């Protein structure tokens, strides 16, 4: 099942597309800007300024966010060279995501990085999973990744093999099994994130830097580790009302885990290839206009991210999903805040040790 899941955002530029429904991710990228600029200063000033630099964004998706991080890095390099009157290096920028990503839109936007009379900026796309090797050894100077590493390489095999639901419709069963489900997801994340660090350590140059953001949670306790909890709650309502099949709901596994700050720190220190430079934690919906965060807006944000994986499993049910979600949240507005409680945006920069 895991190898066949379509994990990509809604494509194109329409009203349901990720390009028009990625405000949360955009807010997180804005928080990463300062850390990227500091990483560039470290790269440019720690040794002799290299004459060639490679920058990669892993999990770039599509739409206006696709170039945001690499553009910050390119501008920071140009600014540093102007300030210190250094010849700018030739730059190569790579954008990565899974092969089903809307790369047609991405490629069209890459031309904006090539500006008249500026130093050479070569661009390219690298389709593939960031849980695999993507670049040759010791070739990349800066890796960025925003709102992507909470996606796992696959759902926890312990759950899928033993047909244990990730989310029970019955609240008592859900609470009773939550510690077991949590540990299965946590173990999958530990394996995946450690492997990600090992791969990037091979690809980065000595002293290379990474700036990443991950959707996670504030505490290291049990609740809530499902960052797709808000999706699951609406789907469970649909199953209870007969809109979707209960057996199908029980076999639905979203390959996503929300780590805590403690999770990340422990894995990074245990793996040993990187040292943590900065670590920031923000509320999930902070920096967003509260007037913008309406039931309709949240439903469309969720749809843009999860529609493909939901439709693959349940069929064309997303119109009904949006209708039920909006009904639920309009009847009790506090539910919308409660279902985001505990979620956090984790942003960190690390350097190759």
Using the predicted structure, report yes or no on whether residue 63 has a pLDDT greater than 80: no
pLDDT per residue over 22-47, tens digit each? 455 556 667 899 999 999 999 998 76
Count of Cβ atoms closer than 10 Å to residue 151 Cβ: 20
pLDDT band at residue 250, thresholds of 50, 70 and 90? very high
| CATH (domain of 230) | 3.40.50.150
pLDDT per residue over 184-231, tens digit each? 999 999 999 999 999 999 999 999 999 999 989 887 655 455 567 888
Confirm whether 13 is domain-assigned: no
pLDDT per residue over 83-95, tens digit each? 999 998 999 999 9
Q: Give the range of the structural domain holding residue 146, as residue numbers without chain letter.
A: 18-352
Confirm whether 111 is domain-assigned: yes
Confirm whether 4 is domain-assigned: no
Using the predicted structure, report yes or no on whether residue 242 has a pLDDT greater than 50: yes
Confirm whether 5 is domain-assigned: no
Question: What is the side-by-side strand order in the sheet with 90-97?
Answer: 121-127, 90-97, 52-58, 140-146, 204-217, 343-352, 274-283
* CA–CA distance, 200 with 157 (Å, rounded to integer): 25
- H/E segment holding residue 297: helix 295-314
Predicted local confidence at residue 9, as pLDDT? 47
Of residues 114 and 154, the one with the higher pLDDT is: 154
Confirm whether 238 is domain-assigned: yes
pLDDT per residue over 311-327, tens digit each? 999 999 999 999 998 88
> What's the structural domain count of the chain?
1
Using the predicted structure, report yes or no on whether residue 105 has a pLDDT greater than 60: yes
């Amino acid at each position: 099942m895991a190898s066949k899941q379509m994990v990509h955002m809604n494509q194109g530029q329409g009203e349901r597309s990720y390009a028009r429904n990625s405000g949360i991710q955009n807010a997180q990228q804005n928080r990463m800007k300062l850390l990227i600029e500091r990483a560039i200063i470290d790269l440019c000033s720690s040794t002799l300024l290299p004459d060639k630099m490679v920058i990669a964004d892993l999990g770039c998706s599509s739409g206006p966010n696709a170039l945001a991080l690499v553009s910050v890095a390119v501008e920071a390099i140009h600014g540093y060279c102007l300030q210190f009157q250094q010849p700018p290096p030739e730059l190569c920028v790579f954008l990565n995501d899974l092969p089903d990503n809307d790369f047609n839109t991405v490629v069209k936007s890459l031309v904006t990085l090539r500006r008249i009379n500026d130093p050479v900026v070569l661009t390219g796309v690298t389709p593939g999973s960031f849980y695999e090797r993507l670049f040759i050894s010791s070739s990349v100077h800066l890796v960025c990744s925003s709102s992507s590493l909470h996606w796992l390489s696959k759902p926890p095999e312990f759950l899928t093999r033993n047909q244990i639901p990730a989310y029970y419709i019955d609240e008592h069963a859900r609470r009773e099994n939550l510690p077991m489900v949590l540990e299965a997801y946590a173990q999958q994340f530990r394996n995946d994130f450690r492997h990600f660090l090992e791969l990037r350590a091979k690809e980065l140059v000595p002293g290379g830097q990474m700036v990443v953001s991950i959707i996670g949670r504030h505490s290291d306790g049990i609740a809530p580790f499902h960052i797709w909890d808000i999706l699951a709650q609406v789907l469970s309502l649909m199953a209870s009302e007969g809109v979707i099949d209960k057996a199908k709901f029980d076999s639905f596994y979203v390959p996503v885990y929300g780590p805590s700050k403690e999770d990340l720190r422990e894995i990074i220190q245990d793996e040993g290839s990187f040292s943590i430079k900065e670590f920031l934690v923000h509320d999930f919906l902070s920096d967003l206009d509260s007037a913008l965060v309406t039931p309709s807006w949240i439903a469309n944000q969720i749809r843009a991210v999860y529609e493909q994986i939901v439709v693959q499993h349940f069929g064309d049910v997303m119109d009904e999903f949006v209708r039920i979600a909006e009904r639920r949240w309009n009847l009790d507005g506090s539910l919308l805040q409660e279902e985001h409680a505990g979620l956090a945006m984790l942003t960190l920069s690390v350097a190759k040790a």
